[in-house]
Each structure stands twice: as C-alpha cells, then as structure tokens.
C-alpha cells in the first residue's frame, strides 16, 4: 500500500493570518505520530504568500518549519516533493529547502515533468502554475513525456491551477485545465492547488488552503490523505481544527447587541469579524462605538446595497484591506487579483464587464496603472 498526503496553498508570510499560527498548525497537523508511516508528502504550490526578506520574523518561523519538516521526513523515510505555485506568491523561494536539506529524499519541481518512483512503482505528473496557457501545447508536452517513459498513463498528478468545473459561474476565469484529458491520462488521483476551497470532481481533488486566509473562505480547511492499495484508492480530507477564524456575521434588522456579543466574544481574540449589513442598520450608524466595543478583534463592516442586495464596489475599496505590493505585481497580475477578489470574496458570480471596469478605475491611482 502507498500512502501520501497533499497540502497546498499554505501562504506563509500572509499579512493577516500570522505565519507563526500557520506554522504551529502545520507542525501539529502534519508532523504527527500517525503520519510517520507515510510514503510521500506533496506540497502542491503556494507555500509562500509573498516575497519575503530574510531578516523578517516570518522568515525565521518559516526556516524553523522547513528544518522540522526535513528532519521529520528524513528520520521517517518519507519522500518530500514541493511544487512551485503561483509566481507572484512563491517567487521560487521554496528552493531554500534544497539548501537546508541534508538527508531527506527531496525534490523541488518548477517545470512540467514526470517522476518515476522505482521503490513505489508509481509515475507522478507535476505541473506548476502558469506553465503554459495553451492546453494543446500542454497536451503535446505531456504526451511526449508519456512516450519518453513508455507509459500511457501516470498514477498521480500534482498540479497548481484550475479545472473548468471550478470556474463555473465566474466571469473572469483565465486558463483552465480540461477534465476529460487529465481523467484519461491519470489512473488514480489528480491533486490541484490554487483555489482555497476544498472540492472534488471524479478523480480531481482540490485540497483547498491549509488555513483560513480571508473572509469568503470561512469553510473547513486542511489537507488530503490518500491511499493506493492493489489498484484500489481512497482518500480523506483531514480538517485543520485550529484554522484561523474569519467570520462573517449577517447583521439583520432586529439583531440585539447581546446576540452580537454572544457570537463575537465566543471567538478567539484576534479573529477577523466582518459585519454584513444594510447601510441604514443601526449597527452601521453607530459603527464607531461598535468597533470600540470589540477591541482585540479585527472588526470590519461590509454594506449590502438595499437595491441589489449586493456589496457596493466603492464600499469594498473603502473598507477592504487590499494587499497589493506593486513592486511584486505586473499590471496583469493586479487586474487578475482584483477580479479574484470580486469573484471569490464577494461572490460577484454575475459580474459584468462594466462593473469590473468601474472597480479598476477606482484603483487606478492607488495601483498606478496606465
């Protein structure tokens, strides 16, 4: 039997979810007594959230985690495979694992490739994010690799990006992988990182992010553990029970202060709380007093437009803490990130082009877009 875990979208160095918190969760969830029998640990992209300086506290926490991970894998004879994720997140910083490593069976992958693990007798396809935005070209490259290895299928695929089923109902989707093609060339499971919500579709398993990183991503987080035994495969989603709290509270008219207290004061200190309410709600009218009442929590408000029951784009600009380091983004990256914010965080599933343009115009001065 072959057993392995896949974790993705860890986002160390995140500005809101503390790196120390994520590292503690990684150590307690991954490096366990139970997981010592694993054959492989896969990290399917986006270990990092942004480009970091070595003298930052986040970097020190990350180095500590990397050393712990390498030691754990080495003494338990676990293979460690690390895939490059989104360029504007990872920046190939995961290469530092290669310099820290002494005895662990480690590979860092930043190209499309197939690996044959002879001791386990399995073939693994790797595809990093933004490798190629033409599916026919990717198919040709994969097919050539299959011929090179004299195989018709791989056993497992580890990828970063998106499949078509994950983009349904979204206006700006960009490049996506074709489910049918990958289902035909992968025997067991196709693991893909990038989207932060856990989902599955046949052989495809999107692990989602390991920890919570934003409002709109308030569901369970964790990683996937999979088993292959005599051509029979199964998996389970392991929940990270200590994931950071991002909670949206729908503040309807008539909600009492006591009810709000009961919800917020039962959350851990430091939690991010978003109050969703109409503009004329008394909690919005008295928002300055409300925010002072919950010192120790990260309180923000989000206004529901009475006419459309949607969030005002202008209000998003005024109240959301958009993390854009213009030195780390190209104009195209920023535009795509804005679309992602509208789609994933605020559920603009039917966002029209004019609304998107309006949002870009608002940000023009801030982002210095031409």
Residues of the chain with CATH 3.60.21.10: 2-239
Which of 303, 333, 308 shows the shortest CA–CA distance to 320? 303
Give the least confident one: 13-17, 118-122, 154-158, 252-256. 252-256
CA 356 to chain centre: 23
Mean pLDDT value across the chain:
86
308-339 residue pLDDT tens: 444 555 555 545 545 544 444 444 555 556 65
106-122 residue pLDDT tens: 999 999 999 999 999 99
Which CATH number, 3.90.1010.10, 1.20.1090.10, 3.20.20.70, 3.60.21.10, labels domain 2-239?
Answer: 3.60.21.10
Exposed/middle/buried for 343, CB within 10 Å: 0-12, 13-18, 19+?
buried
Rounded Cα gap, residues 211 and 28, in angstroms: 13
Strand partners, 222: 239
Tell me if 273 sits within 8 A of 267, measured CB to CB.
yes
Rounded Cα gap, residues 14 and 242, in angstroms: 17
State phi, psi for 155 to the nearest 5 degrees.
-85, -40
Give the least confident one: 50-54, 211-215, 324-328. 324-328
Q: E strands of 232-344, at which residues?
A: 232-239, 246-250, 272-278, 298-304
Q: Is 128 helix (H, G, I), strand (E, B) or coil?
A: coil
State phi, psi for 348 to the nearest 5 degrees.
-80, 65
Tell me if 303 sits within 8 A of 312, measured CB to CB.
yes
Share of the chain above pLDDT 70, in %: 81
DSSP per residue, 25-55: HHHHHTS-SGGGG-SEEEEES-SBSS---TT
- How confident is the model over 6-14, as a mean pLDDT? 97
Sheet holding 106-109, edge to edge: 106-109, 79-83, 40-44, 2-7, 222-229, 232-239
Rounded Cα gap, residues 109 and 98, in angstroms: 11
């Amino acid at each position: 039997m072959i057993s392995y875990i896949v974790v993705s979208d860890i986002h160390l160095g995140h500005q809101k979810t503390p790196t120390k918190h994520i590292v503690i969760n990684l150590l307690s969830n991954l490096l366990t007594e139970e997981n010592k029998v694993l054959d492989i640990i896969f990290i399917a992209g986006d270990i990092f959230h942004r480009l970091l300086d070595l003298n930052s506290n986040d970097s020190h926490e990350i180095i500590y985690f990397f050393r712990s991970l390498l030691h754990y894998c080495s003494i338990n004879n676990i293979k460690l495979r690390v895939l490059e994720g989104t360029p504007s997140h990872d920046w190939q910083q995961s290469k530092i694992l290669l310099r820290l490593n002494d005895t662990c069976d480690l590979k860092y992958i930043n190209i499309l490739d197939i690996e044959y693990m002879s001791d386990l007798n399995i073939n693994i396809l790797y595809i990093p994010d933004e490798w190629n935005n033409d599916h026919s070209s990717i198919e040709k490259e994969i097919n050539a690799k299959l011929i090179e290895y004299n195989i018709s299928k791989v056993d497992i695929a580890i990828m970063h990006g998106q499949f078509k089923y994950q983009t349904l109902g979204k206006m700006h989707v960009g490049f996506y992988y074709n489910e049918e093609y990958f289902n035909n060339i992968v025997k067991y499971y196709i693991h893909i990182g990038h989207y932060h919500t856990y989902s599955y579709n046949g052989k495809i398993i999107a692990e989602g992010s390991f920890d919570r990183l934003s409002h709109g991503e308030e569901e369970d987080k964790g990683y996937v553990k999979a088993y292959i035994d005599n051509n029979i495969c199964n998996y389970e989603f392991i929940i990270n029970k200590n994931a950071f709290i991002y909670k949206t509270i729908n503040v309807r008219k008539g909600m009492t202060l006591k009810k709000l207290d009961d919800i917020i004061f039962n959350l851990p200190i430091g939690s991010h709380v978003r109050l969703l309410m109409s503009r004329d709600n008394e909690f919005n009218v008295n928002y300055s007093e409300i925010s002072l009442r919950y010192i120790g929590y990260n309180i923000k408000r989000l206004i529901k437009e009475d006419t459309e029951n949607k969030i005002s784009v202008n209000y998003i600009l005024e109240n959301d803490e958009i993390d854009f380091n213009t030195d780390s983004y190209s104009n195209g990256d920023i535009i795509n990130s804005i679309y992602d914010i509208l789609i994933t965080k605020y559920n603009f599933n039917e966002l029209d082009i004019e609304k998107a343009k309006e949002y870009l115009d608002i940000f023009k001065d801030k982002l210095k877009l031409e």
